[in-house]
Structure 1
Amino acid sequence: MVGMNQNSYMDHENERMDLILFSDSRKKKKKIPFNSGKICFFMIKNLSISSSLIPDKQRGSVESQVFYLTNRVLRLTQHLQLHAKDYSSQRGLWKILGKRKQLLVYLYKRDKLRYDDLIGRLGIRGLKTR
């Protein structure tokens, strides 16, 4: 290569090979050793909130629905950090957030104590008040 140092050319080729190996390994489920100095992106599959927050007898309650939607929001947010141009997932995220907001508004109007308790346990931001 003209005007390019041979070592920098080889470093660039090695990085390219690492990326190819990484993309191939995701399809074939092989493990690649972690190379210090190189950035590897991965997705956390089991990112969720503990299900012990909702008792078994309340699986259809507003709290359990908000809990389930919050888990889905966390998983989709993690997915979108890796795949920023996945517009169908973005649309799904907005729909989930709208549904969760509707449920939180309903709970806020019905029982503010349960609403405050749920917001505190899940660690999500409350509704905007005017």
Structure 2
Amino acid sequence: MKKVLMLHGINHNMFGKRDPVQYGTITLAEIDEKMQELGKELGVKVISFQTNHEGEMCERVHQAFLEKVDAVVINAGAWTHYSYGLRDALAILTVPIVEIHMSNIHAREEFRHHSVFAEIVKGQICGFGLDSYLLGLRAAIGAME
């Protein structure tokens, strides 16, 4: 069975409590549950990982390389805008990477408009809340084929 790694970045453990105007009231556990359901429906295994520590995220990406995952969906949160270390780790991967965001990062503060991952990801999906995740999973699966 193909494997898709879902990477959740900094502060995502606070979904459901943090800024409901931008992120809604859905929790990370609920997002992961919906990703698992869709993955099962589409015939892939979804492996979820969340951390607030940038080095741990880079190490999980390295592990994904060694595990030979088939695709990655990433919502790196604020790291999207400045983490060249995480960008370099992701660049090691030779599988499709789809960047997603719950909010429309282009309609928010200026610093959120730039993604340091943009040049290395297959594409970006933002602004659709939970659906950003589900669309990202579908896009990653489509890019694997």
Q: TM-score, normalised by structure 1?
A: 0.27
Bigger relative contact order (CA 8 A; separation at least 6): 2
Q: TM-score, normalised by structure 2?
A: 0.25
Query: Between Structure 1 and Structure 2, which shows a larger proportion of helix residues?
Result: 1
Structure having the higher Rg: 1
Query: Between Structure 1 and Structure 2, which shows a larger proportion of strand residues?
Result: 2
